[in-house]
Structure formats: C-alpha cells, structure tokens
Amino acid sequence: MSQTIYNVLSREKETFKPISEDRVMMYVCGPTVYDNSHVGHAKTYVSFDVVVRWFRYCGYRVRYVQNITDVGHLLDDGEDRILKGARREKVEPMEIVERYMRSYFEDMDALGVTRPDISPRASAHVPEQIEMIQALLQEGHAYEVNGSVYFSVESFKDYGKLSGRHVEEMEAGRRVAVRDEKRHPMDFALWIKAPSNHVLQWPSPWGRGYPGWHIECSAMSNKYLGATFDIHGGGVDNIFPHNECEIAQSECANHTAFANYWMLSGTLLVDGVKMSKSLGNFVTIKDALKQYRSEALRLFILSGLYRSPADYSTAALDAATKGTERINTAARRVRAELKHAKADDAANSGRLVDLLDQYRMRFTSAMNDDFNAPLALSALFDLGKDLNTAIDEGSATRTVLEQADAIYRELGGDVLGVIQTEAKGNGAGSAEREASLIQMLIEMRLEARKARDYTRADAIRSRLAEIGILLEDGPKGTTYRIGN
Amino acid sequence: MSQTIYNVLSREKETFKPISEDRVMMYVCGPTVYDNSHVGHAKTYVSFDVVVRWFRYCGYRVRYVQNITDVGHLLDDGEDRILKGARREKVEPMEIVERYMRSYFEDMDALGVTRPDISPRASAHVPEQIEMIQALLQEGHAYEVNGSVYFSVESFKDYGKLSGRHVEEMEAGRRVAVRDEKRHPMDFALWIKAPSNHVLQWPSPWGRGYPGWHIECSAMSNKYLGATFDIHGGGVDNIFPHNECEIAQSECANHTAFANYWMLSGTLLVDGVKMSKSLGNFVTIKDALKQYRSEALRLFILSGLYRSPADYSTAALDAATKGTERINTAARRVRAELKHAKADDAANSGRLVDLLDQYRMRFTSAMNDDFNAPLALSALFDLGKDLNTAIDEGSATRTVLEQADAIYRELGGDVLGVIQTEAKGNGAGSAEREASLIQMLIEMRLEARKARDYTRADAIRSRLAEIGILLEDGPKGTTYRIGN
C-alpha cells in the first residue's frame, strides 16, 4: 500500500515519493516564543507528530526540523514579538526566549509530542540568512533601500502558487498604499535596518539590522535539509504571506524546487470562533492540561482530519476524555487478562487472529490515506468492542490477547499516543508505583467485601476519594479514575 | 552580615560588592554538548546552583548566564568535539547538539539545578564573535595568517594573571614547538580557517571558517552581562588556557575589567583518580541517578567546599544517601506533627524559638562565608537532633514546629535542594498522591494491628515491600522508604 498526501501545492492527494528511498526530510514552521503556547499550537504539532510517528512506524528514517522564531516576527504595529514580551516581563529579550522556548517544550513533552531532531533558532542563523539575501540581491530578486533589503515579488513569476493569490489582484485589491520605500506594495522585507537603540541587531553588508521573519525558514531548511526536501508543514494560517515568501526566497536563491509536498493543518477554533486574547477565549496548553489529560487532548485533535478545522469546547473535550477512558480501559483489560492467560494452541485462535489482522489493515489504510487519524481511531474503538465480547465469551486466547496488546501498544501508543503504554512520572517509576498501590487497595476492598466487612470496604473507597482517586464498579470489575 | 567570596584572581576571600546594588550578574562556563554529562558536571553546576539560590534567597536579583558550546571546542587531535559525536552516531552535527543539550538539561532538571536565565549557544553568536575579533585586530591584539586569526599573548601584559602562569616561563618550559603559523607558541586561535568540506563553517572577513573555543564566552558574556560583570564561574580544569584567554580577549577588546570575582569549583575524582573514559571510571549523571536519589547526589556534592576536590565513591554516596534520609525524615516528622499541633501561646516557645534562630544564623554565617555548604548542612543535621528531642519531650509547640518547618523548606529545600518540599512528578501531583496512598496504608496496618488482625497487618507490609516500599517501625511511629 502506498502513502498518499494531500499536497496543498496541487490541491490534490498525491502518492508520496520521497527524494531518497526510506528517508523523509521534513520541515515544520515552529512557534514564536514570546508567550505561552495555546491549544492551536497543540493541534498543529500533535498533527505533525503523528505524521512523523507514522512514517517511523512504517520504517522511514525521518529528519524532522522545526524552527524556533526568536527574532524578526513583527506585530502589526511593527514591534518585534520578542521585544514586546521583554517589555511586558521587564527582562532581556533572550530571557524571554529561554523562558518561552522552555515552556513550549514542556508543553510538547506533556502532550507526548516527539521532539524535532533539530530545533534551529532564527537568531542563531543570522550569517546563513545574510548569505541567502546576498544571493537574492546578486540575482536581481531583491533590492536595498536605506539599509533595508526587500524581495521583489514581481521578479518571481510563481509568486502566489501555494496560496493561489496573484500579485496583480493583490495589488488591485489593496487600499492606496502608505508611501513607503518598497517598489511594490507586496514586496516583503528580507533585512530590516535597526534603529540604533534596537536591542536585537547584527552587523550586515547593509549596516546594522535584523532579518525579516520569512528568510529564517528558507535559510534553516536549506542548511539542515538541503535546497529541495520532501515535506513542508505548518498551520494553514501561515500560508500567506509566510509560506509563499519562503517558496519565493528559496526557489530564487537555489534555482530549484523547494518542498515537494506542502501539508497545512487546519485552524483551531474555540467554541466556534477564532481564538484571540481580546475575545477572552485564549486557551493555553497549560490551562488545557489542568482540565484534561494529555491523551484526551490528543484524542480530541486526532478525532478530526489534520487539515480540517477543529472546534475546542467543553463538550468536545469531555467526549474526548470519555473516549480516552474507553480505549484505555479496553487496553488495560487486555493486559490484565494477559497476566493469567495460559499458553494455547494458536490454531484455536484463527478466527479472532484474522479479525485482529483486519483491524490492523483498517488502521493502516486509514493512515496511508493522507494520515486519516479519525478513521484509524475508529478501528481501535471497534476493536475494543470485539475484544470485550471475546473476553466475556472466553474465546480470547493468549495468542489473541498478545496480538491485541501489540496493536494497542504500537498503533494506539507508538503511533497515535492516545494509549498509555508505560509509566511516565519521574525516574523512580512513581507513576507505576502509584498504579500498583491503587490496585492493591482495590484488591483489599474486594477482600473486605468478601468477608462481608462493608465498613472497611467503604472506608477504602471513601479514603481513596479524598485523595482524588475515584473507584468505579462495573460489570467487569472495579476500575478507577483520577478526579479533580 | 556581608557575603565573602574566595576570588581566584586575588587568591583571597573578599567582601562581595556587586556593581549594581541588589543585582548579581553572573556567567558560568557551560558544557560542550557532544556526549552525556558526567558527575563532574554535576559537581560544578550543583555548586553554582546553590550560589544562585543563596543569592536569590538573600534578596539579590540574579541574571545567570551559562553558555552551551556547540562549535569550536577541539580535541587534542584537532577534531571538533561536535563533529566527533556526529561521526560516532552517524547524524548531522546539529542533531548531536540537540540530543546532548536536551540530555544535559534533563540531567540538570533531575538534579534540581535551576535553569540559567539565558543559555546562549556558540554557533548562535558567530556575528558577535566576528565583531570582537575585528576589534582585537584593529587594536593590534590579534593577527591574521592564511585565513585564521590568532590572539597575540605578548600584546596583553596581564596574560596569566588568573592562573598565575607567565608567558616567558611557559615558552621556556615548552618543548621545541612544532613549526606552525603562530608568532608565539602560546598564541591561541580566535578564528580558524575551515577546510572546504568542514561541516561547521561560516563566512567571515577572513574567508570561511569557525570561531575558536575561547572567544564565544567573551562575546556572549559581553552581550548578555556587559563588558564588566560581577562573577565568572566554572570548573577549575578550565582555568588555563580557557579562562585566561577569556580575560585576555575581553579586557583587550573592551578596555575595561572583565569579571570582578572568579569562582572556580574543584575537580571531581572517582575512587581517588581523575575520571576518564580510558580508565573505565567514567560515571554519567544518568548512571548515578539510577543508583542514587537526586537529593543524595546533591548532599554528597554539598558535603565538601565547592572549591575543594571531591571523591565520588560507593562509600561516599551511601553515606550521603543515609544523610539525605536522616534529614528528610526529620523534616517529615515536623510536618506530620504540625498536622495535629494545636495553637499555642507563643510565650511558651521562647527557648526553642531562640534555638531555631541560632540555627538559622549558623546556616547564614556559613553561607555568607564563601558559600560554605558543608558547614550550613551541619546546622541542619544538628537541628534535626534537637527537634527530635523536643518532639519526644512534648515541648515542640505549634510555633516551634512552624518555624522549624520554614527552616527546612527555605534552607534545606529552596537553598540547598536536599529536602523534598513538594511533589515532583507530572502535573497531576502524582508524587503527592503516592505519599497519601502510602500514609493511608500505614494507617490501615495500624488499625489491623489494633484489631489484633496480624495476618492483615503483615499482608499490607509485605505487599508494600513487593511494590518497593519498605515500612520501618520505630519508637516514633512507622516511616517508609522507597527501596530498589
């Protein structure tokens, strides 16, 4: 089966053909680290995390590069986002960068997002950016005015090919431009002259200044992945101008194609509207993780297509929480059964083993089809139902349980990251110990009940509840969940 | 009381006078990230961590800058350490940097080492390094030969002032120098011409190349702390040539003093000898943390003066483990007593409150005296003995317990980091829950005993032991420890 990818460049699903066999070279635009990350970032980076995990599961070697923007990403009023953060928190710009870069990786770790192989920072690649700007100047794709350098959009005939915009229309549709030093209103800055008191500035052939936002991704992808690479990802919000500018810079400077496949993830809305600080509906990842488990957030994100918008709401997250519990309960039940399952004659397991193979195929087909995670998830949910029936009937042999366990671990754990496969917590395995302690107390409660000592049994339950551990008696035994 | 610091520059203890009142600007040489960090790194960075924590406890605002070396730190055979790591692991140099930078911060986090406020990377400051080299060339402190630039040690009369070496002696004591392009055998590289296939290289006024190791610390400390700042720290191993070269570069380029105070931490030996991979006595922090708790490692390190050597051995770490348990048991006992202590008339607590004040003073005097952590620790140990007696006698009133708890939290926890003050574990407070679960089981065992149901009481003890939690009945009730 071959992998398809919806390529935003062609607006079509295409068969994925990597440049080097078995190798995926992939770049995803990273965050600007001047504030805590929000759930919109979670959607983007969990989506691409699953893409990377799936490629690796399929045996590809992936080099995943995701930049950190720490200079040059300006607000509408022209202020650098990093400087704004520094002003807000009254510290040095690079302290802001350290603080929020760390916060970002903490959030990503908490969400189980695999770290990129290389996380290059814009401020760490000023010489590379200057070299690329020099190349663009030499070829007539850029021009200098008063110590700043601009890219000339009219010099690149394909400008607009990703977003489907056309320079002529953009110009026509634009209000009378403020008189500025650009030749064409759509031209964008490659290098910006710094006022003398500007904190973030470097020497350059055009005087002291700082790089424009777009050039960093062109310079860093070129450095770490080469001029042409396989996949460029990011959030759809950045398709214009950022991604369009990247293509223009890279293709003009390198005289070759930039990324072969463009994958853009859909916007995250909150209660149906765009998230914004002024609307008061801005949800940070840290806030979200106070309310919901990491697996529930992932499951919420993976319940829709990565390129579709998603709507973050209490109802959606509650549903995802229930889904996470259901799928994890099923996986735990398999592991529990496995502990005392005896060896069996594999021949007796034939029908169910075939069924498990079909589930694995369903999952694989879904993921091969442009990473259709919601369809892949539905296979895991249906599997749970069939397994519960098989265990109840006594037909889940050791062979069946082992294969089911492998499916949960590999597909639900390694690929989607919605099933807990091992203890997290700190080194000493405290999460594992905690689970053992709770199990021990569940057993002691059962013993007390068998001895008809209901006072003791109830005391165990209510004391656990005080600690925040809620026991739930179901037809298949007692389970627990951590309450708030 | 004033703070003294043993200043390696003067070889004397001096009263600390910061440049700006209440502010400490401090730079510590960080690791070269091409392999896992070892326990020698732990000694250096835990030592400076306690310096930073103490300053902050005393009300200073500290800006703590610690660099990450990711280019230019060459091995004796002239190979860049990062490139060696990349060759060993068959990945890109910047993947090595990501991997081991992350590993380093993981280790530091596990050791409870506060993150620096800024962690600048050498490769991210090539323009700043080039500018400083240009300044040195202009002033005649450096010269260019074949695309490389060297610092002329004879141009700086104070060369050797930190390490106490003299250029003339060094030259005289040196074997006949290999004929090379340097004017003086002690001259050192500021910029190194790169062979065309060298992976780590940048454009410069002298052609493509890469910065020498020493210049990064001069350029980055200048950028983030200014030309003159308060404290420069590091391991004593780097006093020559690295620290000496930093002084030469910075003072020649900036025409002013570099760091006012130099603090160097002593070497860590393993079983009495220098750690080295060839001797097979190389202990990584990750290995050490598999065997010993983080608090025990810190207590081992803080049991000696930061500027003295330390000897890592099983006996020393076992002793530190016991010490950690003793001090934490005492702190836990105070917290436990506090839970049911009633309000009291503070007047009745006079004698003991005075005693606690004396302990706080002992601790403070010790830390004010060049950060004498072993002496400060001894105050905490003695405090434990007195508190146990007072609790046994029933004279530890609520007022006393509250103040004792504050001493443990602030001095043992916030400053030294050897007392566990709050739950670590992942967000949901699982370590706290674990402690509550164990406490619940200890109480259930006590109830079973009171009901003369020894079978049940013993079952609780042995089941806990299976999970790795060992109960210990003492004259003062049941305590527990986490076994291996």
- Segment A237-263 mean pLDDT: 97
Which structure tokens are listed for B73? 């730190």
pLDDT digits 0-9 by tens, B302-336: 999 999 999 999 999 999 999 999 999 999 899 98
How distant is the Cα of A384 from the closest Cα of chain B, in angstroms? 27
Range A435-462 average pLDDT? 88
Which of B115, B425, B467 is nearest residue A426 as measured by Cβ atoms?
B425
Interface contact flag, A467 B437, Cβ < 8 Å: yes
Determine contact, residues B218/B8, Cβ cutoff 8 Å: no
Question: How near does any CA of chain B get to the CA of A466, in Å?
Answer: 10
The answer to whether domain B18-291 and domain B319-415 are alike in fold is no
Cβ neighbours of A131 in B, within 8 Å: 203
Q: Which option is the CATH number for B319-415: 1.20.120.640, 1.10.1660.10, 1.20.1110.10, 3.40.50.970?
A: 1.20.120.640
What pLDDT score does A473 carry? Answer: 83
pLDDT at position A282: 87
Q: What is the pLDDT of residue B178?
A: 47
CB contact under 8 A, A441 and B441: yes
- The shortest C-alpha distance from B213 to chain A (Å) reads 17
CATH class (in words) of the domain with range B18-291: alpha beta
Of B98, B110, B126, the CB nearest to A127: B126
pLDDT, tens only, B222-277: 999 999 999 999 999 999 999 999 999 999 999 999 999 999 999 999 998 888 87
For residues A197 and A283, the model is more confident at A283
Secondary structure of A59-109 in HEC code, one letter for each residue: CCEEEEEECEECCCCECCCCCEHHHHHHHHHCCCHHHHHHHHHHHHHHHHH
CA distance A131 to A110: 38
User: Given pLDDT bands bounded at 50, 70 and 90, which one contains residue A24?
Assistant: very high
- Residue B176: pLDDT over 50: no
Higher pLDDT, B428 or B445: B445
Quick one: pLDDT at residue B482? 76
As a whole number of angstroms, the distance between CA A252 and CA A275 comes to 35
Contact A431 B433 (CB under 8 A): no
Residue B172: per-residue pLDDT = 52
Q: How confident is the model at residue A484 (pLDDT cuts 50, 70, 90)?
A: very low
CB contact under 8 A, A427 and B110: yes
With beta carbons under 8 A apart, name residues in chain B contacting A127: 126-127, 202-203
- Does B438 sit within 8 Å of A437, measured CB to CB? yes
What average pLDDT does the segment B275-289 reach? 88
Does the pLDDT at position B177 exceed 80?
no
Best of A434, A438, A484 to disrupt the B interface by mutation (most B CBs within 10 Å)? A434
Cβ under 8 Å to A: B residues 385-444: 424-428, 430-431, 433-434, 436-438, 440-441, 444
Query: Mean pLDDT over residues A2-30, rounded?
Result: 97
**Cβ separation B467–A124 shorter than 8 A:** no
pTM listed for this prediction? 0.81
What is the model's pLDDT at position B46? Answer: 98
**Cross-strand pairs, B151:** B142, B188
Mean pLDDT value across residues A143-155: 96
Residues 340-359 of A with CB under 8 A from B: none
Chain A CB within 8 Å of residue B145 CB? no
Q: Which of B94, B222, B225, B446 is the best residue to mutate to test the A interface, defined by the most A CB atoms within 10 Å of its own CB?
A: B94
Domain residue spans of chain A: 18-291, 302-415, 430-482
Q: Cβ contacts (< 8 Å) between B469 and chain A: which residues?
A: 433, 437
pLDDT attached to residue B191 = 97
Q: pLDDT digit string (tens) for A306-362?
A: 999 999 999 999 999 999 999 999 998 999 898 888 878 767 788 999 999 999 999
Chain-chain contact of A469 with B121 (C-beta, under 8 angstroms): no
Greater confidence (A440 vs B366) lies with B366
Chain B residues with CB under 8 Å of A433 CB are: 434, 467-469, 482
The span from the CA of B203 to the CA of B101, in Å, is 25
Nearest residue, CB atoms, B434 vs list A95, A123, A433: A433
Per-residue confidence (pLDDT) for residue B180, from 0 to 100: 78
pLDDT digits (tens, 9 = 90+) for B378-418: 999 999 999 999 999 999 999 999 999 999 999 999 999 99
SS (H, E, C) chain A: CCCEEEECCCCEEEECCCCCCCEEEEEECCCECCCCCEHHHHHHHHHHHHHHHHHHHCCCEEEEEECEECCCCECCCCCEHHHHHHHHHCCCHHHHHHHHHHHHHHHHHHCCCCCCCECCEHHHHHHHHHHHHHHHHHCCCEEEECCEEEECHHHCCCCCCCCCCCHHHHHHHCCCCCCCCCCCCCCEEEEEECCCCCCCCECCCCCCEEECHHHHHHHHHHHHHCCCEEEEEEEHHHHHHHHHHHHHHHHHHHCCCCEEEEEEECCEEECCEECCCCCCCCCEHHHHHHHCCHHHHHHHHHCCCCCCCEEECHHHHHHHHHHHHHHHHHHHHHHHHHHHCCCCCHHHHHHHHHHHHHHHHHHHHHHHECCCHHHHHHHHHHHHHHHHHHHHHCCCCHHHHHHHHHHHHHHHHHHCCCCCCCCCCCCCCHHHHHHHHHHHHHHHHHHHHHCCCHHHHHHHHHHHHHHCEEEEEECCEEEEEECC
Q: pLDDT-based confidence at B481, cuts 50/70/90? A: confident
- Mark which residues 172-231 of A lie under 8 Å from B by CB: 202-203, 224
User: What was the pLDDT predicted at A451?
Assistant: 86
List, as ranges, residues 449-468 from A with C-beta within 8 Å of B: 460, 463-464, 467-468
pLDDT at B431: 62
- Residues of B with CB below 8 A from A220's CB? none
What is the band of B423 on the pLDDT scale with cuts at 50, 70, 90?
very low
- Report the chain B residue with the minimal C-alpha distance to residue A484: B428
- The number of C-beta contacts closer than 8 angstroms across A and B is 120
Percent of chain A with pLDDT over 70: 94
On chain B, the residues whose CB falls within 8 A of the CB of A120 are 94
The answer to whether B124 faces chain A, any CB pair under 8 Å, is yes
Q: Cβ contact (<8 Å) for B430 and A425? A: yes
Candidates B124, B425, B437; nearest CB to A123 = B124
ipTM above 0.95, yes or no: no
Confidence check: pLDDT of B179 > 80 = no
As a whole number of angstroms, the distance between CA B199 and CA B209 comes to 10
User: Which pLDDT belongs to residue B70?
Assistant: 94
Distance from CA of B98 to the nearest CA of A (A): 6
Confidence at B127, pLDDT banded by 50, 70, 90: very high
CB contact under 8 A, B110 and A426: yes
Enter the CATH code of domain A302-415: 1.20.120.640
User: How high is the pLDDT of residue A19?
Assistant: 98
User: Which band of pLDDT confidence, cut at 50, 70 and 90, is reported for residue A60?
Assistant: very high
Q: What is the mean pLDDT of chain B?
A: 91
Tell me the mean pLDDT in the region A213-226.
97
Q: Is the pLDDT of residue A392 over 70?
A: yes
What is the per-residue pLDDT across B35-63, written as a single tens digit (0 to 9) for each?
Answer: 999 999 999 999 999 999 999 999 999 99
Strand order in the sheet with B188-193: B142-145, B148-151, B188-193, B209-211
Asked if residue B449 has pLDDT above 90, the reply is no
Q: What single string gives the DSSP state of each residue in B183-252?
A: SSTT-EEEEEEPPTT-SS-B--TTSSEEE-HHHHHHHHHHHHH-SSEEEEEEEGGGIIIIIHHHHHHHHH
